[in-house]
Amino acid sequence: MNSSKIKYRPEIDGLRAIAVITVIFYHFEISFFGNEFFKGGYLGVDVFFVISGYLITSILVDEYESKNSISILNFYKRRIRRIIPLLFTVILVSIPFAWFFLLPSSLIDFSKSSLSSLIFSSNFYFHFSENAYFNFNDSNPLLHTWSLSVEEQFYIFFPFFLLFVIKYLNKLLIKFFIFLIFINLLMIQFGGNLSFNYPYIEENFSFNKPNFFGSFYIFTSRFWELLIGSCLVFFEKKIKFKK
């Protein structure tokens, strides 16, 4: 068994297609009779994170089941071979268009985002430079690489995390994942009320106070979505084992 591959799942490609279409139509601001038809289309990004968590967990779990171990080095090699050539291609194709069509300030922004995307940190770059995803007039052609950076940050530590959980928390695995999802959602929702000073909780408590951990671009605001994908793998395995 080749542990680096999983069985082709046409339904996953179908979900990907739906996610892509909704995001594209959302950015085109398509409307009918004055109503935006795909107003919530950006949720396609969330679907992608769930799919990503599912696929990566499937690959790692299948490898563990077949070899009783996970080769983290091989996992990183596969990710590099799959992602880096495509990322380089996108950047190289974008360079001449950026050179001819962008203003000097936007060209500098493009250069910085290119470098940050190559080290999978463009999500932090866009967050701190205040490049809003929902600003459709943004001229940076690499704005979409923020999601790739989030995924790669997840891939860096997840194999170690998964290996630990399988070995030492096997009987509580699904419950542990659900617990982490719950904690992550609490942090996103209420983290803005926390303070480093006594009494450590803001007096004017808000149910949706903005905070760094819940930022659109930051990994911690997407961790629960990736973990939902992971949970689906273990639910699926449990169902198969019962048959």
User: Band of the pLDDT at 200, cuts 50, 70, 90?
Assistant: low
Q: Give residue 34's pLDDT.
A: 67
> Within 10 Å of residue 52's Cβ, how many Cβ atoms?
21
Q: Which of 218, 235, 219 is nearest to 178 (CA)?
A: 235
pTM of the model: 0.84
Per residue in 19-58, pLDDT tens? Answer: 888 887 777 776 666 666 666 667 888 999 999 999 999 9
The string of pLDDT tens digits covering residues 54-113 is: 999 999 999 998 988 889 999 999 999 999 999 999 999 999 999 988 888 889 999 999
- Cβ distance 54 to 33 under 8 Å? no
- Is there a contact between 173 and 234 (Cβ–Cβ < 8 Å)? yes
Q: Residue 149 corresponds to which tokens in the numbers above?
A: 């950076």
Distance CA 21, CA 156 (A): 29
Question: What does the pLDDT read at residue 225?
Answer: 94
Measuring CA to CA, how many Å separate 55 from each of 8, 85, 93, 216? Answer: 11, 20, 28, 23
Confirm if 226 and 53 have CB atoms less than 8 A apart: yes
Give SS3 for 134.
coil
Structure tokens at 84: 């880096």
- For residue 30, the one-letter residue type is I
222 close to 150: Cβ distance less than 8 angstroms: yes
